[in-house]
Amino acid sequence: MKVRPECLSCLFDRAIFEADLALNDDHKKIAFLKELLRFASDNFNLDATPAKIGTERERILSRISGNADPYLELKRKSNAVAVTLLELAKKSYERADDKLKTLLAIAAAGNSMEYGVRGHRFDHRTFQPEFERLLKEPIVGDVEAVLDAIKRSSKVLYLTDNAGEIVFDLFLIKALIERGKKVVISPKSSPIMNDATVDDVKQYADFDLEVVPSGSFIGLSLDEANEDLLKVLWDEEYLVIAKGMGNYEMISEFEDQLKGRLIYIFRAKCIPVARSVGVNQGELVAVMR
């Protein structure tokens, strides 16, 4: 997915949010924003992807702040909240007539756990009623095709997105394994934004799981992904489930190479992504490619 004009204001809205998060000196905040402005001036064009531009924003912030994980405390709080909400998800799953479809809805609702997105508000302290509401909302997109693809596939590569929602991802993955599927999970190898890392998976997975990290990039970068991940990605026996908008933004650039075995699951939190997929902002989405 290419950037839209409105992505520029979102880039800087989040940069200001992150400057307040990681920097306590206005001089450093201005230095961060100026360096990002220079980068955007040279690179924000119609060939750019939002996730690639956003990744450079994170790297500039880490360099200036000296903090490799500015979201650490927010990620911990998100994970803790998700653990408390997991019982709600389990009850929704147990009551459901179509359990697999409910798993998709739980995973997509969990994708709400994202900070700093323009037009989307997430507060871990008040998320419970929204999560309960979302579990009752319909999931839109190619839902029947997605369900059929999951049922037919014996191997799954699951590309994760945010901390917090990783708790719900693991609930879905465990259910897939119990259905006899081989699942490879791919979190981030090191911190980038509030994305889930290998450490999050190890902390919250209560079952054996094959973990192949995807690098430290918003979404999936073919240039930076390691050979172990690429080997699984290009293996035609694997169904690829890509969680979150960052993965959609990056993978949609080469999705033709995965045609017939690629699923996106996310909540359409921003207008450009919602328009790109053909849904309304705020909807829960499951799309088959």
From CA 270, how far away is CA 102, in angstroms rounded?
23
Instruction: Give the tens place of pLDDT for each residue, 190-201.
Output: 999 999 999 999
Where does residue 279 rank: exposed (0-12), middle (13-18), buried (19+ CB within 10 A)?
A: middle
Where does residue 28 rank: exposed (0-12), middle (13-18), buried (19+ CB within 10 A)?
A: middle
Q: Tell me, what's the pLDDT at 150? A: 98
* Fold category of 7-65 in CATH: Helicase, Ruva Protein; domain 3 (1.10.8)
Q: 139-141 and 262-267: which strand pairing?
A: unpaired
72-288 CATH choice from 3.40.50.10880, 3.30.420.60, 1.20.140.10, 3.10.20.600: 3.40.50.10880
How large a percentage of the chain has pLDDT more than 90? 98
In this structure, are residues 114 and 71 in contact, taking their beta carbons and an 8 Å threshold?
no
From CA 152, how far away is CA 129, in angstroms rounded?
35
Mean pLDDT, residues 186-192 taken together: 97
Nearest to 43 by CA among 35, 53, 34: 53
From CA 238, how far away is CA 222, in angstroms rounded?
17
Instruction: Give the tens place of pLDDT for each residue, 47-98.
Output: 999 999 999 999 999 999 999 999 999 999 999 999 999 999 999 999 999 9
User: In the chain, where are the structural domains located?
Assistant: 7-65, 72-288
Whether the model clears a pTM of 0.85, i.e. scores above it, the answer is yes
Where does residue 47 rank: exposed (0-12), middle (13-18), buried (19+ CB within 10 A)?
A: exposed
Q: Tell me, what's the pLDDT at 116? A: 86
Q: Tell me, what's the pLDDT at 195? A: 98
Provide the β-strand partners of residue 239.
156
Q: Tell me, what's the pLDDT at 62? A: 97
In this structure, are residues 265 and 243 in contact, taking their beta carbons and an 8 Å threshold?
yes
Alpha helices in 66-135 (DSSP H): 72-95, 99-110, 127-134
Nearest to 192 by CA among 240, 264, 246: 246
Task: Number of helices (H) and strands (E) in the chain: give both, helices first.
Answer: 12, 7
Instruction: Give the tens place of pLDDT for each residue, 221-250.
Output: 999 999 999 999 999 999 999 999 999 999
Mean pLDDT, residues 155-174 taken together: 98
Confidence band, pLDDT 50/70/90 cuts, at residue 118: confident
Q: Has residue 28 got a pLDDT over 90?
A: yes
From CA 263, how far away is CA 247, in angstroms rounded?
11
The CA dihedral of 245, 251, 255, 259, to the nearest 10 degrees, is -70
From CA 241, how far away is CA 214, in angstroms rounded?
13
Tokens of 192: 């980038």
From CA 23, how far away is CA 65, in angstroms rounded?
6
Q: Which of 21-30, 110-119, 237-246 has the lowest mean pLDDT?
A: 110-119
Mapping DSSP to helix (H, G, I), strand (E, B) and coil, where does residue 262 land? strand
Q: What mean pLDDT, rounded, does the chain reach?
A: 97
Instruction: Output the CA–CA distances (angstroms, integers) from residue 212 to 99, 187, 198, 250, in the order listed.
Output: 27, 7, 9, 18
